[in-house]
Structure 1
Amino acid sequence: MFGFKVARIYPHDASSYTEGLVKVGRSMFEGTGLYGQSLLMEWDLESGKVIRQIALPASEFGEGVTVMGERVYQLTYLSNTAFTYDRSTLTRTGSFTFGAQGWGLTHDGTHLIMSDGSSALAFRDPTTFKEVRKVYAHDAVGAVGFLNELEYVEGAVYANVWQTPYIAVIDPATGALTAWIDLTGLNPDPARLTYPLVLNGIAWNDETRRLMVTGKCWPHLWEIDLVPFART
């Protein structure tokens, strides 16, 4: 089990209902949810200013986002659709259909990795979106469900567990949990700790080698160091 120490705090738009988050260079790519409000946007990490954005159709509820090469992928919640975009312009370039709810999305350099709100992680071909394999997150007690936003970090999948302050660290080969991260106390605002304004959003800062985390409509993005809990 790990706790955290805040290393740096960045601005985050408190109107952004965060569903997906990725750092690329000095930019953050963020996907937001809610019908009629869902966006894909690129914003400057230091200032928080939006560089470019594109709205989803009002009938779509945006979900997880990942950037793989020059392509951005964005899931939708219930319409069984994933959209693709050109990374440099955010021009929509295509779409895929799939037979599940869309929650979180990341990639391991070869396959897209998708969550659907259960304990499952589906590995998908990035050119066809077809499922290649699937693992199920579990610890010594049993299945770990409600996997939401995802980030692939140095050989492990980090997953927000919906409506909790926890991130599960998952072995992508087996689904076995290798660690828990407890972010209790990260956001001191009690109004933004309960459903629906819950912790959601994980990015990896490859320059500082730290996690970056936020939540739905939270006003900050926190860069953190992980601190092992002392055994008692």
Structure 2
Amino acid sequence: MNHRVARNILWACLTAALAPTACAQGDTIPVHPYRIVHTYPHDPTAFTEGLFYEDGYLYESTGEFVGAGVRKVKLETGEIVQRRDTPAGYFGEGIIASGQRILQLSWQQGVGFIYDKASFKLIDQIRYPGEGWAMTRDANHIYMSDGTPVIRILDPQTFAQTGSIAVTANGEPLQQINELEWVKGKIYANVWQTARIAEIDPATGHVVGWIDMTKLVQAQTVGDPENDVLNGIAYDAGRDRLFVTGKRWRSVYEVKVGK
């Protein structure tokens, strides 16, 4: 099979445009089953671009040029207990905490905003080349996506880029890498406008598993299939809980991956 055919089959599988048997022939990466453990309320006006869980709360970044912001949310009720608007004219994107600071990316403006985690006061800015899509982190690094197959590695103190990971699936570069989450030594990544989450080995950049959430996506009634897609992954490491949601979805889902 040549690379062009393999690439086309991979994208057709990601967007659920091929039958499972056809995908199995062109995609050798295992697909992990999952089940819904619990359903929590989610603000249906939230154009979710970034999500993480910390200290008992969900932290969420919302996008679009009007109404973008960062918020702290009670998981169990969906109540917004704290929020701040993104500076006017900026399209909000990914979000991550580093110590007592929160960093929020903007989409195409190359500017990131640093907020005090406790007060949400804007305290600084950073600049970066290209686009900003999403972030996650481990104990020593921040990982940033920009819509390309390359995940940037950032210093958690200075936010300067220190390295990168070239992501491939079946030997082909994986395009449209979006929202990220660090889960048990792997990077989970939404692939924009698809119903699949990629499980990425950060040591090699290889996609080592898929989580196919087609049925979950199809159950949503957001009304705008071009934009209101699966986007938002958060992990509670202390209780081993994985949460997923989407743009303007009415629910956050706690899911268990595996049999």
Give the TM-score, by structure 1 length.
0.94
Which structure carries more helix by proportion?
2
- Residue 108 of structure 2 corresponds to residue 64 of structure 1: no
Equivalent residues in 2 for 1:67-146, closer than 5 Å: 67-146=97-176
Asked whether the 8 Å contact 1:170–1:178 carries over to 2, the reply is yes
What is the alpha-carbon distance in structure 1 between the residues aligned to residue 257 and residue 131 of structure 2?
31
Instruction: Indicate the larger mover: 216-225 or 47-56.
Output: 47-56
State the Cα distance separating 1:149 from its structure 2 match: 0.4
Asked whether the 8 Å contact 2:222–2:248 carries over to 1, the reply is no
- Residue 253 of structure 2 corresponds to residue 225 of structure 1: no
What is the alpha-carbon distance in structure 2 between the residues aligned to residue 135 and residue 206 of structure 1?
23
State the Cα distance separating 1:218 from its structure 2 match: 0.2
Which structure carries more strand by proportion?
1
* 1:148 aligned residue (175, 178, 193): 178
- Residue 194 of structure 2 corresponds to residue 164 of structure 1: yes
Could you tell me which amino acid in structure 1 is paired with residue 60 of structure 2?
E
Q: Which residue of 2 aligns with 1:6?
A: 36
Query: 5+ unaligned residues in a row in structure 1: which ranges?
Result: none
Counterpart of 2:169 in 1: which secondary structure?
A: coil
Q: Which residue of 1 aligns with 2:64?
A: 34
Counterpart of 1:186 in 2: which secondary structure?
A: helix
Could you tell me which amino acid in structure 2 is paired with residue 92 of structure 1?
L
Question: Which of these two proteins has the greater Rg computed from alpha carbons?
Answer: 2
State the Cα distance separating 1:178 from its structure 2 match: 1.4
State the Cα distance separating 1:2 from its structure 2 match: 1.0
Could you tell me which amino acid in structure 2 is paired with residue 159 of structure 1?
A
The two structures, once aligned, show a CA RMSD in angstroms of 1.3
State the Cα distance separating 1:193 from its structure 2 match: 7.0
State the Cα distance separating 1:38 from its structure 2 match: 0.4
**CA-to-aligned-CA distance 1:95-135 (integer Å, 9 cap, x gap):** 10000100011111212110000111000112222211111
Q: Which residue of 1 aligns with 2:203?
A: 173
- Residue 228 of structure 2 corresponds to residue 197 of structure 1: yes
Asked whether the 8 Å contact 1:106–1:113 carries over to 2, the reply is yes
Give the TM-score, by structure 2 length.
0.85
What is the alpha-carbon distance in structure 2 between the residues aligned to residue 201 and residue 13 of structure 1?
13
Identity %: 35
Q: Which residue of 1 aligns with 2:23?
A: none
State the Cα distance separating 1:84 from its structure 2 match: 1.1
**CA-to-aligned-CA distance 1:22-79 (integer Å, 9 cap, x gap):** 1112211000000021010001111111111100122100000112222111100011
State the Cα distance separating 1:87 from its structure 2 match: 1.3
- Residue 245 of structure 2 corresponds to residue 214 of structure 1: yes
Asked whether the 8 Å contact 2:114–2:123 carries over to 1, the reply is yes
What is the alpha-carbon distance in structure 1 between the residues aligned to residue 113 and residue 103 of structure 2?
6
Which runs of at least 4 in structure 1 moved beyond 6 Å after TM superposition?
none
Counterpart of 2:34 in 1: which secondary structure?
A: strand
Asked whether the 8 Å contact 1:42–1:50 carries over to 2, the reply is yes
* 1:44 aligned residue (74, 88, 108): 74
State the Cα distance separating 1:210 from its structure 2 match: 2.5
What is the alpha-carbon distance in structure 1 between the residues aligned to residue 251 and residue 142 of structure 2?
28
State the Cα distance separating 1:91 from its structure 2 match: 1.2
What is the alpha-carbon distance in structure 2 between the residues aligned to residue 138 and residue 51 of structure 1?
39
Q: How many residue pairs get matched?
A: 228
Could you tell me which amino acid in structure 2 is paired with residue 119 of structure 1?
P
